[in-house]
Amino acid sequence: MSAAPSHALLRPAIALPFLLIALIWGSTWIVIKDQLAAAPESWSVTYRFAIAAVGMFAVALASERRVRLAAGGQVLAMAIGLAQFCLNFNFVYRAETHITSGIVAVLFALLMLPNALLGRIFLGQTITRRFMAGTAIALGGIALLLVNEAREAPPTGAVGYGIVLTVLAIFSASAANILQASEAARRQPLLLLIAWAMLWGALFDAAFALMTAGLPVFPPSARYWGGVAYLGIIGSVVAFPLYFRLIRQLGPGRAAYNGVLVPVVAMAISTLLEGYRWSALAMAGGALAMIGLVVALRGREAPVGKAVSAGKP
């Protein structure tokens, strides 16, 4: 398959899901923050992916007309479920009890670094100069956003522990991203693989919740369950297939650049809903992050099925 003549960001099949994912995940940070006091973190994660698994199987069945994965698919689904839908989210929810959701969201923008590095090590994907240049610019923007978040809501308590949890969440998500970009994953139907991964993730979440938080807690708040439904359906069933498809199209390094856009979207949503006021530091950080994103993603599409460049698909 020959390389496409247009830049990746100019192709609607890339740009539209890229923006939609950022819009969805930019909103989920606010919803997660709203749930932390209502129930133990592990049970909130369990409820989210129990709902997501049901929804994802419905979508997969309508598309694939079957529920069985090919040989080796279940092992892969278990690994993705453990890394993405259990470890990653349990770390994230716990991190937000120690540092603000804004800081966690901005730190998560660093996901492109382990994705690119692990993609190079395990998938043989090259890291281009353009990707490195864009990443350097984006890192400057991320640094400014971190400083701004720390000034706007100074972290208190176990800040270092919260950062460690966020770093663990980032590497858990990165491991799942690399698995999704592997040839073994490409041989599996995408929607069905995600459905099984979510089911395994929910089972791992429930086991972990029982061990760490005891019996299930069911908050009476309609707002809480509305948030769980939003995170399960919109934040998971809608967003993850789009994101994992981008990983297969762009490679894990470039797909993770979606995380650079997410905190900017989150701040924009906060501006509309919570009266957030943009400082000069926030505007400079957001601008640098966007410039880095454009520089890193202005590559042309590489042949599908071969090693995909982390800096040029």
Q: What does pLDDT average to in each consecutive run of 10 residues of the chain (313 residues)?
A: 47 88 91 89 97 97 89 93 98 89 86 93 88 92 88 74 93 97 94 97 98 96 96 97 94 89 85 80 91 76 36 32
Report CA torsion sign: 41, 46, 47, 49: positive
Indicate the SS3 state at residue 256: coil
Kindly tell me the sign of the dihedral angle through the C-alpha atoms of 105, 189, 301, 117: positive
Distance, CA of 108 to CA of 110 (rounded, Å): 5
User: For the residues of 271-303, what is the DSSP string, one character each?
Assistant: HHHH-----HHHHHHHHHHHHHHHHHH--BPPP
Q: Where are the domains of the chain?
A: 8-297
Matching residue, tokens 């049901």: 54
DSSP H stretches of helix in 65-189: 73-80, 89-95, 101-108, 112-123, 129-152, 159-181, 183-186
pLDDT for 156 equals 66
Contact 190, 248 (CB under 8 A): yes
pTM of the entire predicted model: 0.88
Q: Which two tokens stand for residue 295?
A: 């520089």
Question: Would you state the pLDDT for residue 65?
Answer: 86
Return the closest-CA partner of residue 19 out of 298, 293, 273, 214.
293
Candidates 177, 176, 40, 123; CA nearest to 306 is 123
Residues constituting the chain: 313
pLDDT of 155 reads 66
Integer angstrom CA distances of residue 244 from 18, 168, 248, 249:
11, 20, 6, 9
Q: Which DSSP category does 2 fall into?
A: P
The pLDDT, as a whole number, for residue 207 is 98
Structure tokens at 93: 């929810």
